[in-house]
Each structure stands twice: as structure tokens, then as C-alpha cells.
Amino acid sequence: MKIIVTGGAGFIGSNFVIHMVKKYPEHEIVNLDLLTYAGNLENLTEVEKAPNYKFIRGDIADRKFVFDLFEQEKPDIIVNFAAESHVDRSITDPESFVRTNVMGTTTLLDACKEYGIKRFHQVSTDEVYGDLPLDRPDLFFTEETPLHTSSPYSSSKASADLFVMAYHRTFGIPVTISRCSNNYGPYQFPEKLIPLIISRALADEELPVYGTGENVRDWLHVSDHCVAIDLILEKGRVGEVYNIGGHNERTNLEVVKTILKALDKPESLIRFVKDRPGHDRRYAIDPTKMETELGWKPQYVFDTGMKQTIQWYLDNKEWWEHIVNGEYTKYFEKMYGERL
Ligand code: NAD
Ligand code: DAU
């Protein structure tokens, strides 16, 4: 089997590529990534010399490039992680989200239609369901929850999902979609909450918490997400959506305080800043379908997963330090300058 993983140099994509290259030496894993600011080949040093691994640089929204690639590689499976993934960036630059997340996905689907494919798997997000109220802990997102998006990011991901389903129904493309909750773990770009807080706390810098810090996210270790997608490729039913989450709901403030405690840093570093426009209040996944139909169960509990993740950032300072000290400083000033 030849599997093209798009966005395989990003956070979850690189964890997935490593998982697949190691677990399936008989499969060829092709990592297709544009290497935007979020793509980093250093994430893949562990597998870069593996005989069943290959990297190709390219843009999923470049039709000629994608069609030539299909012609040449003749993939059996596509797993589409490639995306603009940061909500705050989608508020300042929605168009790049439409281009990659929507047009990129339809370009890949068109190539599947032209050349044939055994499976197209779309890596989607729980954000397509919008948010849940904070005072209704009994409510969860199921696969039947209507799409109801808040940000340009989630709107672009929901649009892509609709196209994926339309290509299944209209053209018979064998698709699956997974919608996962917030991931944490190694190689997450330090613009996202957990690595941002770890890196800034270690430098004794102020920690920006949006609004009151009461918004809730449902955290899942990236390895559990990768295993879930692997299972969907193996046993998932074509045309189906699978929600992935491990019932690990925490307020943002709880997450920040957990990190401060683990690093032995004072809570006085916390700085409440202007809220994210349209900020989703609570995400919470009901993973019953993954559990009952595919037998998936997350392996990580949040506390140990977080301890290991914090340790990973301590052990791999050079990985994130050059990001934090480089171009990214300009982003931080631009993004947070008006909030503080
Ligand atoms: P990321 O931003 O870390 O990585 C995205 C990768 O896509 C990067 O390597 C980037 O270079 C690549 N890319 C961007 N535009 C491209 C293009 N036009 N062509 C080819 N490659 C391109 O993202 P992530 O956090 O690893 O998320 C991966 C996927 O999982 C996304 O589709 C996201 O919507 C979804 N998701 C993320 C989370 C999360 O918590 N991070 C949760 C659920 C779903
Ligand atoms: O739910 C899945 C989604 O999780 C994915 O689809 C997205 O790609 C991924 O980025 C993530 O989106 P969030 O917006 O939930 O993640 P982020 O890390 O940006 O923020 C998590 C929470 O922390 C959110 O409520 C906003 C808050 N936050 C974030 C940042 C960056 C802060 O309070 N301060 C910050 O500086």
C-alpha cells in the first residue's frame, strides 16, 4: 500500500507519519507538505532514513502539482492533515484558510476522482460543531450534532467536510472523516496554548489567558489521535464520520495552572488579556462510536500525558527555542500587541 499523508511535517501529521512508518514497514509512507511556518522536517528525524518513508514538498491547492503527483505515485490511500490550523490566524487572514483547507481538499478529491483511490481520509475537527454552553456539562458533540461554526478556521474545516461527503455521494469516492478534540504532545507549534504556556513560563514571561480563562477544551494526547486514525483506515466504514476524544475536559485556567505547578513557576505570571473574537466556550466529544464500533480507547490519562509532554519540551528546548526566537517573535508582537 502507498499512503500519502498530507501535512506530515506539522504537529499531528508528523506524529502520524512516525507511527505509520514504524508500525507498517510493508507500506510506503509519502509525506506531502508545503512546509509553511508550521511545517518542520526536524519533527521527522526519527524516520527520515527509513526505506518506507519519502518526503515531497508541495501545495495541496496546486492542481497541476497534485495531479502530476497522483500520476507518478499512484497512491492507494490519502490521509489529509494539511491545513492552516490556528484559529487566531484565521481571524487575521481568513483567505489562506479557504485556499488550503477548502480548495486544497477539493483539489485532492478531484485527483482521487480522476485517478481512483482506495480511501480518502479527511482529518477534521470538533470545532465544526461550534460550541457548547458552560452550564450544561450533560451535553456532548455526537456525529449527528449539526455543523454550526464560529471562526473562519472552523468554517473552512466544515466546508471541507461537506465537500468530502458530497464527493462520496456524487462521485462514489470512498471517504471517511474524523473529528477530534484538542491535541497535545510532542512537536506542537508554540503558538497553541500548551506549548505557548510552557515556553513562556520557562522564560518567566507573562502568560496570556483569553477572557476569564473559563473556556473549556477536551484534551487528547496526539498518540491516541494517531492510533484512532490508523483504526479508521483499517476498520472504519466508508462514508462515515468518527468523533475522537477522551473525556478530558479542562478550563484553560486549569491547564495553565497545571503547567505552572509542574514547572514550579508562580501563578503571578498569568495575564488575563482581551478575549478571542467569537471564542468558543466549551468543546466536549462523545466518542461512543469509536469505542463501540472500532474498539478504540485512549491510552493516556491527562495528568501523565501532560507530565510527559512538559518533560518533552524540557528535553527538546532547541526544537522550540529557534522557533520562539526567530520569525515567530514578530507574530507574537503582532497577535498579542493589541490584546495586552
Ligand atoms: P499544523 O499547523 O501543526 O500542521 C499543518 C501542516 O500542514 C504543516 O506541516 C504545514 O506545512 C502543512 N500545510 C499547510 N498548508 C499546506 C498546503 N497548502 N499544502 C501542503 N501542506 C500544507 O496542524 P496540526 O495541529 O498538526 O493539525 C493537523 C490537522 O488536524 C489539521 O487539519 C487540523 O484541522 C486537524 N486537527 C487539529 C487538532 C489540534 O488540536 N491541533 C485537533 C483536531 C483536528
Ligand atoms: O478542538 C480542536 C482544535 O483545537 C483544532 O481544530 C485546532 O486546529 C487547534 O488549534 C485547537 O484550537 P483551539 O482554538 O482550541 O486551540 P488553541 O491552542 O489556540 O487555544 C486553546 C484555548 O486556549 C482556547 O480556548 C483559546 C485559549 N488561549 C489560546 C492561546 C493561544 C488562550 O487563553 N491564550 C492563548 O495565548
Q: What is the DSSP letter of 276?
A: P
Q: Are 337 and 274 in contact (CB under 8 A)?
A: no
Instruction: Tell me, yes or no, if 127 is annotated catalytic.
Output: yes
Instruction: Tell me, yes or no, if 210 is annotated catalytic.
Output: no
Task: Give 324's contacts (C-beta < 8 A, 6+ positions apart).
Answer: 190, 199
| CA pair distance 175, 91, nearest whole angstrom | 29
Q: Residue 340: its pLDDT value, please?
A: 65
65 CA distance to ligand 2 centroid (A)?
A: 32
Which H or E run includes 309? helix 302-315
Q: Residue 288: its pLDDT value, please?
A: 98
Q: Are 128 and 149 in contact (CB under 8 A)?
A: yes
Q: Residue 331: its pLDDT value, please?
A: 77
Measured from the alpha carbon of residue 97, the closest ligand is 1
Measured from the alpha carbon of residue 180, the closest ligand is 1
Q: What is the pLDDT of residues 107-158, one digit of tens each?
A: 999 999 999 999 999 999 999 999 999 999 999 999 999 999 999 999 999 9
| CA pair distance 132, 107, nearest whole angstrom | 33
208 CA distance to ligand 2 centroid (A)?
A: 12
Q: What is the pLDDT of residues 260-282, one digit of tens each?
A: 999 999 999 999 999 999 999 99
In the chain, % helix, strand, coil (3-state, to 5) comes to: 45, 20, 35
Q: Are 109 and 67 in contact (CB under 8 A)?
A: no
Tell which one of 147, 210, 212, 225 to mutate to probe ligand 2, the residue whose CB is within 8 A of the most ligand atoms: 210
Residue stretches of the chain with pLDDT short of 50 = none
Task: Give 35's contacts (C-beta < 8 A, 6+ positions apart).
Answer: 9, 41, 57
| CA pair distance 269, 226, nearest whole angstrom | 34
Nearest to 129 by CA among 177, 96, 174, 188: 177
Ligand 2 binding pocket, CB closer than 6 Å: 85-87, 125-127, 181-182, 192-193, 196, 208-210, 215, 217, 252, 276, 283
**Sign of torsion, CA 112 160 86 152?**
positive
